[in-house]
Structure 1
């Protein structure tokens, strides 16, 4: 234990670190990894690019019709109007005709390749087909037809030129950009089939507590949920989780478990982070490395701790389920984003009118779970009745939470609040 860490077993949490300061200390104590991999587009969703990307080809790579109608030489339509239409000769369909001759028209559909010679498309609404005068009874109906054009088109009108969407060599994304499904579609369209991405941070999730079991609990036993929940959040936030077996409240067993996983990018434990007789983790981590913080001014979940051992960050989450989730969102998520080179995007919020007061202590960042319901075209936020840090249903069934900053002593009913959708997957 470092000299500047107080003896929590005796003093408890009289002095708690502000949340922003604790998070800054944690990120300052670690370094992002630099491992990369090249993956196919089907495996790249949600990954951070390891290098910038430029388009390999034009999109479109051929001039194409932007409207249904007729591909023409624009000069041939000069002067066309409702009163005095220009009459062109229909010479076939797109894909059948290589070149539009003077005074010719080729039937095209949106996306059709323009034949050589064509530099404009007359919309179908501005045309009318008719049988060509003098067409013999045995002539082809497709060929022996004229097209009346009722509106002139300019050169390039209703035409998507080569590279209109994306030009070959165009810069698309910077290194660090988090790829979305729409990005993958764009990359494929420009001829890119694989990309270099940052490897997902590897995370060992270690649930601790002698009372924890995986099923069929006896009196005094508790079903293990924190490790499962946190490991799934790790995957959702861009990491690769290894969900370990429960480790009992024994200093040597905890030491062995932590040392086993120091090859991972992050080790996160659940339970055993407070100051009780069985809360051994902070002491074990302090003996192996150093404590970055222990005890944060937030509610629920102030007994959170973090440390670093041989360069590996150790996040020690409280054992109460809600406190565990709150701290995972506040500390583990930004840590994974930083280590893995992903942008730490803000949660989306919904404005709602608070219909019941939220209580909080000055100097404490409070996360109040709320349910949101529609009231006409507005929203109403109701704090959940069950608000204890051990009541898992209060967070699982909530629609989000309202963050009460340290400088406020609660939020009165009737105030408009921002409800954070912390379950958002990014």
Structure 2
């Protein structure tokens, strides 16, 4: 720019994204766990996704599991460019998060036909977009790639992410119910793909994964040797 004689240039400010965790089972790092508790994982994985895709993350702590606390957090999120909440969005009796958003703003969708990550929510509060992610760490991270990442990159005025995909044979056979689109994490060994997904709460499903495969609705069986397309996570 100096060689071209420019003194000033127009730039875009990174979207500021507020991150909130929720649930009495979540404890901050540096404290002792009580029976039934786990440490907060989602705020760290979400911050990583946000930072790598044009945003500036701000961790706002762990919400109490009651309506007043959620409303205060939503009001706080409305002072940012985007709010991301993990936990509290499950469709059911204790859906306080959805209730609070309906009082403060609008829900555009609540529940997606994917596995993992069914209870994902998207809405807005005072004109600010808000995501409600599942509380399970694997589900939260998976759906941050699927829903949060493209929205954030658009807000940051970045090009859509270019995912690298490779076709490889499956190294094992498995079956699926086929009732939802399914994202399955896999690792690549000796030119073949093997599942590493364990359960929605096990973050090692993602840390050991080289990529993921997508099974469409109605797809109930994959046989060993079938050619499948793997979307690579670390390229």
- Do the structures match in fold with TM over 0.5? yes
Aligned to 2:171: 355
Q: Is the 8 A contact 1:322 1:389 kept in 2?
A: yes
Larger radius of gyration: 1
Query: 3-state SS of the aligned residue for 1:198?
Result: coil
State the Cα distance separating 1:248 from its structure 2 match. Answer: 1.2
The separation in 2 between residues aligned to 1:352 and 1:193, in whole angstroms, is 51
- Is 2:214 the partner of 1:422? no
Q: Does the CA contact (< 8 Å) of 1:369 and 1:398 recur in 2?
A: yes
Residue 212 to residue 188, structure 1, CA distance change in 2 (3 Å): same
TM-score, length of structure 2 as denominator length: 0.91
Distance 2:122 2:173 in 1: 33
Q: Does 1:310 align with 2:120?
A: no
Gapped runs of 5+ residues in structure 2? none
In structure 2, do the counterparts of structure 1 residues 290 and 382 end up closer, same or farther at CA, with 3 Å as the change threshold? same
Report the TM-score, using the length of structure 1 for normalisation: 0.52
Is 1:340 aligned to residue 156 of structure 2?
yes
Matches within 5 A, 1:97-116: none
Does the CA-based 8 Å contact 2:91-2:111 persist in structure 1? no
> Which of 75, 86, 111 is the aligned partner of 1:295?
111
Distance 2:5 2:177 in 1: 57
In the other structure, the counterpart of 2:200 is 389
Q: 1:316-349 CA deviation, whole Å, 9 max, x = no partner?
A: 0000001001111111111101222211123112
Query: Residue in 2 aligned with 1:101?
Result: none
Question: How many residue pairs align between the two structures?
Answer: 233
Unaligned runs of 5+ in 1: 1-186
Q: Are the aligned partners of 2:19 and 2:84 in contact in 1 as well (CA < 8 Å)?
A: yes
User: How big is the shift at 1:286?
Assistant: 1.2
The C-alpha deviation readout for 1:107-147, integer Å capped at 9, x for no partner, is: xxxxxxxxxxxxxxxxxxxxxxxxxxxxxxxxxxxxxxxxx
Give the Cα–Cα distance (whole angstroms) in 2 for the partners of residues 213 and 330 of structure 1.
Answer: 26
8 Å Cα contact 2:150-2:161 kept in structure 1: no
Q: Separation in 1 of the partners of 2:231 and 2:3?
A: 35
CA offset digits 1:338-380 (Å, max 9, x no partner)? 2222111231123221011243333421111111023xxxx11
Residue 272 of structure 1: which of 88, 95, 114 is its match?
88
Q: 1:240 aligns with which of 37, 56, 67?
A: 56
Aligned residues of 1:208 and 1:270 also touching (Cα < 8 A): yes
CA 1:258–1:354 in 2, change beyond 3 Å: closer, same or farther? same
C-alpha displacement at 1:256, in angstroms? 0.4
Cα-Cα RMSD: 1.9
